[in-house]
């Protein structure tokens, strides 16, 4: 076990969050992962307990640890509450959203998928600058939104994407854009990518670009032609869920939000309140996020052991939760996974 302990914030979240977090902690304990957890609250639990879906104590914890593992959060309806996920990205300048999509359970519509989508996380149309214009007696006659992409923000994200692709042995980076229509808003992203590639990365990795609508079609027809897709906020949100669909859905999709001030790892699916407390949730997405967290903390051997144990539990042992066509509940899957880790 590494001698150095690593402080980290733990946010179980809402709905099935506590169940999948408990499963993930059991796996990390079996690995001997050196995290010292500071358990905090957010989402609906934050509203109930502290009157805020993102309490000050939670933000203070992440400022101290600069590292967090997070279950799904539910944004309360009404009351003017903003998404806790968006607030976290803004508070810690989490500019890069990293979403790998890799086939773990073979035999679906697509096999041998191994993609990474890198999404800009702070700019674009998601900055929320929107308003209505009233005409006659209709207060919502016109809706307007302003998107903002900056040279600096684009370059920061693109540098991260190129460096990550090269460090992880990837072969090609594809920029996804709509510069044929949104010539300024996404043109600046494409232009910055082309300049950066020529300055620093030419000859080190392959590079190309594709328009967003064509990319969506090509992902469905032949996803194997892509390796690392890098794009702006809205397009990345859509494509990352599309890619998750290629490998079995959001239950198999981990995510990492990397920034200047912190890194937050998460299951990207929702809180699934309809199955909360039933003990049938699939913890795979959060387990894979924990593997990404281990990589981030320079513990690649533990990350590899965790990924291998997940694959062996699903495939060699055939222990799967109901969403994957199996009969195991969360506890049975966790027990089988821990056994795999302990015997590995």
The catalytic site residues sit at 126, 178, 213, 237
Nearest residue to 286 via CA among 327, 240, 254: 254
At 176, give phi and psi (nearest 5°).
-110, 130
A 10 A CB-CB count for 123 gives 21
Alpha-carbon span 281 to 323, nearest angstrom: 8
DSSP conformational letter for 81: P
Contacts of 72 (CB under 8 A, 6+ apart): 13, 14, 15, 16, 17, 43, 266, 267, 269, 270, 271, 272
Burial class (CB in 10 A: 0-12, 13-18, 19+), 227: middle
């Amino acid at each position: 076990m590494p001698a150095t302990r690593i402080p980290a914030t733990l946010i179980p979240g809402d709905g099935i969050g506590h169940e999948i977090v408990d499963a993930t902690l059991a796996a990390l304990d079996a690995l001997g992962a050196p995290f010292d957890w500071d358990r905090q609250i957010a989402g609906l639990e934050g509203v109930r307990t502290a009157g805020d879906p993102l309490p000050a104590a939670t933000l203070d914890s992440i400022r101290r640890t600069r590292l967090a593992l997070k279950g799904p959060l539910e944004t309360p309806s009404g009351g003017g509450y903003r998404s806790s996920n968006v607030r976290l990205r803004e508070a810690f300048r989490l500019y890069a959203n990293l979403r790998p999509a890799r086939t773990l359970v073979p035999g679906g519509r697509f096999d041998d998928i191994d993609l990474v989508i890198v999404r800009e996380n702070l700019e674009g149309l998601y900055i929320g600058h929107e308003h209505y214009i009233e005409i006659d007696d209709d207060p919502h006659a016109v809706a307007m939104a302003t998107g903002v992409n900056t040279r600096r923000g684009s370059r920061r994200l693109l540098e991260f994407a190129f460096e990550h692709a090269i460090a992880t042995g990837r072969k090609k980076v594809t920029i996804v854009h709509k510069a044929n229509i949104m010539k300024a808003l996404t043109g600046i992203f494409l232009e910055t990518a082309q300049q950066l590639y020529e300055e620093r990365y030419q000859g080190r990795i392959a590079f190309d670009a594709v328009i967003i609508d064509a990319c969506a079609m090509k992902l469905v027809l032949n996803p194997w032609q892509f390796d690392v897709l890098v794009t702006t906020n809205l397009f990345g949100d859509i494509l990352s869920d599309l890619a998750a669909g290629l490998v079995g859905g959001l239950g198999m999709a981990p995510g990492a939000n990397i920034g200047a001030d912190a890194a937050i790892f998460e299951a990207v699916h929702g809180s699934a309140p309809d199955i909360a407390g039933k003990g049938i949730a699939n913890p795979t997405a959060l387990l894979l996020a924990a593997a990404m967290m281990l990589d981030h903390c320079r513990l690649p051997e533990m990350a590899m052991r965790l990924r291998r144990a997940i694959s062996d539990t699903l495939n060699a042992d055939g222990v799967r939760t109901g969403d994957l066509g199996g009969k195991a509940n969360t506890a049975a899957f966790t027990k089988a996974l821990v056994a795999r880790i302990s015997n590995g």
